[in-house]
Amino acid sequence: MDTQPRCCIAGGGPAGMVLGLLLARAGVPVVVLEKHLDFLRDFRGDTVHPSTLEILHELGLLEAFLQRPHDRIEELRATIEGRSIPVADFTHLPAHSRFLVLMPQWEFLDFMCDEARRYPGFELWTDAEAIGLLQDKGRVNGVKVRRGRRAGQPQDVELHASLVVAADGRHSALRDAAALPHISYGAPIDVLWMAIPRQAGDPSATAGHIAGGRFLVTLNRGDYWQCAFVIPKGGHDALQARGIGAFHEAIGKIAPFLAARLPEALPDWDAVKLLEVTVDRLETWSCRGLLCIGDAAHAMSPVGGVGINLAVQDAVAAANLLASALAGAATEKEIDTLLPQLQRRREWPVRVTQAVQRLIQDRVLMPVLDGELTATVGHVPWPLRLLARWPLLRRLPARAVGMGVRPEHVTSLRTK
């Protein structure tokens, strides 16, 4: 950049890219740091919720976004011991897009980057990892950046900015460098991710499958299933010790239609990726010159796939709060006084969502893994029986998953 950016965003995930777009759109010189060479990585969260689609509609980008490869989900179902039960119906949501979108996260990020580059104040640095903070008189005023490591030519540089935003995920180097205290709730589960080809005759619906003390989610990605296999926390080594064949057998019992193709699809454990689930939240999301958003502020459970939604909502709220100040002549002191307001607005939705996720982990997922929920073959828990019998009730989980708690709307102004 010819001039020093007003804002440096560490992390080119959903929170960082959405905030970068919105700030550049408001005339703020902004640099986004992405530690990888590109966005192409498997098994990143790829659920785009109706509340995020509503934001794209408000930006006038929804039609162009839906030109990217994606799958639409209007209904979520659960399969318990072979019985399919409707759980959530998105077709009645108060939004322009009454469906979930499944899209590879690299497509989402690439789209946001393309739109952000339309504005002269935006710059994306790839192969650029934020490794520490710069400070002056106790205030954060920039980032230490390691560039070129993946290209084999590492070089450490300093990037100064009026505001640094940590959007670098649940293992944020910047929140650790700032020593911001956090609350860790732990998690009783981990998740194994894998891709299994789809075949003619497969069911079409994205669904959760419960059978024999196992829980499997199958996401319809067109020509393949993206699958999440839930295991007890720390159970990965024991599962591997039983061998890949036993793993094939376990999946085949939950989803028999997948059984024959598993040896070819999952020949060894290299085809199975472990996500170690953590649920935590910063006690304080900011300090002078630094703001944390998304997973850097609150790591979410994969339950409901709402982590991306929360991160995007944080980004929109941050842009609404800060764009005018950063685009104008606000002093660093004036910027600092705004930062705690973001936590006051966004912490309640995070607290509620995490509480619900922890309840589902403890009251649904763990009883499944312990074999309690399906101790009696054919038994369906009473909440699911109600959802199966009364279609109107399916709007409630759809609203919780699709819109979330306190969805944000774009109020940051666009430069002329």
pLDDT band of residue 139 (cuts 50, 70, 90) is very high
In whole angstroms, give the CA distance from residue 92 to residue 18.
Answer: 27
For 300, the token pair is 């979410």
Among candidate residues 123, 134, 174, 400, the one with its CA nearest the CA of residue 295: 174
Beta strands at 189-197 and 273-275: parallel, antiparallel or unpaired: antiparallel
Residue 276 C-beta-side C-alpha neighbours within 13 Å: 7
Q: What is the mean pLDDT of residues 272-296?
A: 95
Closest CA to 144 of 125, 129, 165, 162: 129
Q: What is the mean pLDDT of the chain?
A: 91
The rounded distance, in Å, linking the Cα atoms of 140 and 178 is 9
Q: What is the pLDDT of residue 230?
A: 93
Q: Give the residues across from 88 on adjacent strands.
A: 76
**pLDDT value, residue 416:** 62
Q: Which of 297, 275, 281, 302 is nearest to 360 (CA)?
A: 302
Q: List the single range of 225-229, 281-285, 366-370 with lowest mean pLDDT.
A: 366-370
* Phi–psi pair at 139, nearest 5 degrees: -115, 135
At residue 376 the predicted structure's pLDDT band, cuts being 50, 70 and 90, is very low
What are the backbone dihedrals phi and psi of residue 172, each rounded to the nearest 5 degrees, phi first? -55, 120
Q: What is the pTM of this model?
A: 0.92
- The pLDDT value recorded for residue 11 is 95
pLDDT band at 221; cut points 50, 70, 90 = confident
Sheet bearing 286-287, strands edge to edge: 122-126, 30-34, 7-10, 163-166, 290-292, 286-287
Give the model's pLDDT for residue 375: 42
Between the alpha carbon of residue 107 and those of residues 68, 170, 401, the distances in Å are 7, 22, 22
What is d(CA 13, CA 156) in angstroms, rounded to the nearest whole number?
A: 22
- Predicted confidence (pLDDT) per residue in 8-57, tens digit: 999 999 999 999 999 999 999 999 999 998 887 665 668 899 999 999 99
- Give yes or no for residue 323 having a pLDDT over 60: yes
pLDDT band at residue 410 under the 50/70/90 scheme: very high
Asked if 21 and 111 touch (Cβ cutoff 8 Å), the reply is no
Predicted pLDDT at 372: 63
